[in-house]
Structure 1
C-alpha cells in the first residue's frame, strides 16, 4: 500500500493518551500545514476540539485530526455502553512519493488508504473491550492494528461499502465500514487532501464535511 509509514501512522494512538491534553490542543502544528483542514460542516452545532498533527520523516506536517461531540476516553470504567458520542475527522495531505527535504531518504505516497488506516487506528485508540484485563490490552491493540492495516490496504474488499456524503456541498463517495467498536470512512476531496473519519454514537450517514475556515476556532 502506498501510504504513510507505520511509524508516522501510529500518531492517532497517542491521541488517546491521558497525559498530554495540553500538547494535543496546541494549534501551532495545524497552522504550519500547507494544506487545508477538514471538519464536520455547519450542520453540526456541538463542541469542536483539536487533537494532534502527524509529521513526515522530514518534519513536515502531513496529517492531523479534529474532534466533534463528546471527547472520548479509553478509561476502563467507560468501556461499557455509555462511551459518549463523537466523530473525528482526519485530514491527510495527498502527496506523491518524493525525496525528503534533506535529500537523504524517500517519503512514501499518501492515498485514500492512508486516511482509512489513520482513521481505523484512531478508533482503536479509544476502544477498550469490556471485561478485558489491562495487561491484555496491548496485545489486543497490536492484533487489531494489524487488522486495520490490512483492511485499509483492501478498500475494494467485502468489509467496505460505498457511502455518498457531501464535502464542501458536493456529493462525494467514501469507503465505509462498521464494527462493534464504531465506524470508519475514507475518501478524497477536490482540494488535494484525503479525508478519513471515525466515530461512535453518531451516525455517519447524516454527516457532511467542509473545509475549516479558521482552525483556531477548534482550540
Structure 2
C-alpha cells in the first residue's frame, strides 16, 4: 500500500498541481496538526503564505506546506530563463509528520511509515506542479505529468543515488544534513528535524545553500 503522503500528492498532481490562491491561506488544518510546522528562519524577511495540508482518512493532518517569497506561477518548460522566470523567487517548506507503520483508521489496512523520502517526493511533486509543457494538448499533458511524477518518486526512493548531493543547513540553529538535487525547473531538498517531523523544500530563484529553517511560532500569522 502506498503511503498516505504519496496518495495525497498524487491526487494533487492529477488534478493539475497545487490548488490556486483561493484554496490557500486556510489556517484551520494547520492548527489541527499534532506536530510543529517549519518555515524559513527569521533571517528571511519577505512574504510568507500558507498553501494546503494533507490528511489521513480519519482527518489527521499528516503534512503541509508554507510558501516564502513570490507565489509561484506555472512555468512553461519551453521558456526557461524568460524574464518572468528570472523575476520569480520563492521557496516552499514542506513539513511531514514522522510516523511509523500504523493501522488505518478503520483497522483494515496498514499505512506505511513516513520518511525523508516522503518529504523528498512531496517536495519534488510540489515543484513539478508549477511546471507544465504548455504546447501539449490535455491528454499528452496528463501523460507527461504521470511520467514525471513517477520519476520524482523513483528519485525520492533512492536518496543515495548520484542525482542527489548533500548539504548542511541549520534547523533550529543546529547544522542538519539534507539531500539536495537541482533540475531544469528548480531545486528540491529533504531532511529531518529531530524525531517529530521530516522536512522537504523546493524553490526557484532563491539559492538553497543560504537557507535556514526554524519552528513557526505563530502559524495563524501567515493566513
TM-score (norm 1): 0.91
Indicate which of 201, 208, 217 corresponds to 1:197: 201
For residues 45 and 191 of structure 1, do their structure 2 counterparts lie closer, same or farther at Cα, with a shift above 3 Å needed? farther
Unaligned runs of 5+ in 2: none
Q: Which runs of 5+ in 1 are unaligned?
A: none
Partners of 1:77 and 1:158 in 2: CA distance: 24
Residue 103 of structure 1: how far off its partner (Å): 2.1
Q: Note the aligned Cα RMSD (angstroms).
A: 2.2
5 Å-filtered alignment, 1:67-78, equals 67-74=67-74
Shift of 1:16: 2.6
SS at match of 2:131: coil
SS at match of 1:10: helix
Q: Which piece of structure 1 moves more, 75-84 or 174-183?
A: 75-84
Residue 142 of structure 1 and its aligned partner are, at CA, apart by: 1.1
4+ residue stretches of structure 1 with deviation over 4 A?
75-80
- Count of residues paired in the alignment: 216
**Structure-2 separation of matches of 1:3 and 1:74:** 27
Contact 1:74 1:127 in 2 (8 A): yes
Distance (Å, rounded) in 2 between the aligned partners of 1:200 and 1:11? 23
C-alpha displacement at 1:99, in angstroms? 1.1
Question: C-alpha displacement at 1:38, in angstroms?
Answer: 0.3
1:133 aligns with 2:136: yes
Aligned counterpart, 1:46: 46
**Deviation at residue 12 of structure 1 after TM alignment:** 5.2
Change in CA separation of 1:190 and 1:167 when aligned onto 2, cut-off 3 Å:
same
> Scaled by the length of structure 2, what TM-score is found?
0.89
Q: In the TM superposition, what is the alpha-carbon distance from 1:107 to its structure 2 partner?
A: 1.6
**Is the 2:55–2:63 contact (alpha carbons within 8 Å) kept by the matching residues of 1?**
yes
Instruction: Give the alignment partner of residue 18 of structure 2, picking from 16, 41, 46.
Output: 16
Partners in 2 of 1:75 and 1:164 — Cα distance?
29
- 2:27 maps to 27
CA displacement 1:11-30 (0-9 Å, x = unmatched) = 65366333xx3332210000
Distance in 2 of aligned mates of 1:76 and 1:177: 20
**Equivalence for 1:173:** 177
C-alpha separation in 1, matches of 2:61 and 2:11:
12
